[in-house]
Amino acid sequence: MDKVVEINEMLQKGRAKAVVKLVQEALDMGVEADFILKEALLKGMNEVGVLFKQEEIFVPEVLVAARAMNKGVEVLKPYLSQNNDQVQGSVVLGTVKGDLHDIGKNLVKIMMEGKGIVVYDLGTDVPAEKFIEEAIDKKVDVICCSALLTTTMPEMKKVVDLVKEKNLDIKVMIGGAPVTQEYCDEIGADFYTDDATSASEVAAKIIIEKGN
Ligand code: B1M
């Protein structure tokens, strides 16, 4: 498990090239992609979050760590998204207005694409109106909103309210570190999921139940 420890350390130092190399080496040694993601990359990023909160590191260090995380995830992508149960349907996915965090959203995208779901990725800082506009235009089954800041979560309620106001037959799924099932119930969203794998499973279930 030395590789996993090394990846974690290099990620925290923001050493993207080393992360890419070590992730590939771990895969070549037969370490499961899911294990590398959870035990090396996600744990490393969590530790970055703790250091950031304690003001031991600052935004520039977090940014380079995030870049290293994204590079590591790119290497894992083909291994993470291998899945035989393919469904036919689509979603729009984005991080809500005011919020630039995209690592979790990108993981959700990878896992959904692994299930055969077409993902229209709207990126970050996406206003509620844009989610609705694109969802109607692309005729999607689910609107997926990610938020990492407590201050940006209310944009998710705007999405839910617009779906209701326009009487759309589209489910809304929400997620992201500060989001909870309680918040989901409070704003009337259809689904809350707490990680990328369950997000992809729930989206696939919605699509299958819709009969696509
Ligand atoms: Co920011 N940041 N950040 N940050 N950042 C947090 C979120 C924070 C908790 C750090 C802290 O204080 N401990 C804090 C938020 C506090 C709060 O609101 N309660 C914070 C802050 C304050 C800020 C700034 C305001 C800092 C500043 O400028 N002073 C600023 C805001 C910028 C903005 O968005 N407008 C800011 C900036 C940044 C960076 C740009 C430097 C960078 C983001 C880079 C990027 O994303 N490209 C960054 C990072 C990296 C973090 C931390 C350290 C890590 C976030 C992350 O990527 N985690 C974070 C601390 C933490 O979370 N521990 C922090 C890994 C990722 C895989 O997890 O996104 O939760 P996550 O996704 C999970 C699940 O939540 C779920 O699936 C994933 C796992 O499988 N999921 C979904 C996510 N979306 C989903 C959607 C779904 C379903 C599941 O359905 C649709």
Domain residue limits, the chain: 2-79, 90-210
**Could you read off the pLDDT of 61-75 as tens digits, one per residue?**
999 999 999 999 999
Rounded to whole angstroms, the Cα distance separating 195 from 192 reads: 9
Q: Which amino acid, residue 3?
A: K
Rounded to the nearest whole angstrom, what is the distance from the C-alpha of residue 30 to the centroid of ligand 1? 30
CATH superfamily placement of domain 90-210: Cobalamin-binding domain (3.40.50.280)
* pLDDT at residue 1 tops 80: no
Rounded to the nearest whole angstrom, what is the distance from the C-alpha of residue 181 to the centroid of ligand 1? 18
- Around Cβ 82, how many Cβ atoms within 10 Å? 8
Rounded to whole angstroms, the Cα distance separating 151 from 143 reads: 20
**Could you read off the pLDDT of 87-130 as tens digits, one per residue?**
899 999 999 999 999 999 999 999 999 899 999 999 999 999 99
Lining residues, ligand 1, CB within 6 Å? 42, 45-46, 48-49, 52-53, 59, 62-63, 66, 98-105, 107-108, 144-146, 148-150, 173-178, 193, 195-196, 199
Report pTM.
0.95
CATH classification number, 2-79, choose in 1.10.10.10, 1.10.1240.10, 1.25.60.10, 2.60.120.10: 1.10.1240.10
Instruction: Please state the atom number of ligand 1 nearest to the C-alpha of residue 151.
Output: 18
Cα 46 versus chain centre, distance = 15
Instruction: Please state the atom number of ligand 1 nearest to the C-alpha of residue 149.
Output: 18
Three-class DSSP category at 170? coil
Residues 6+ apart with CB under 8 A from 156: 96, 145, 147, 172, 174, 179, 187, 189
Torsion angles phi and psi, residue 125, rounded to 5: 55, 45
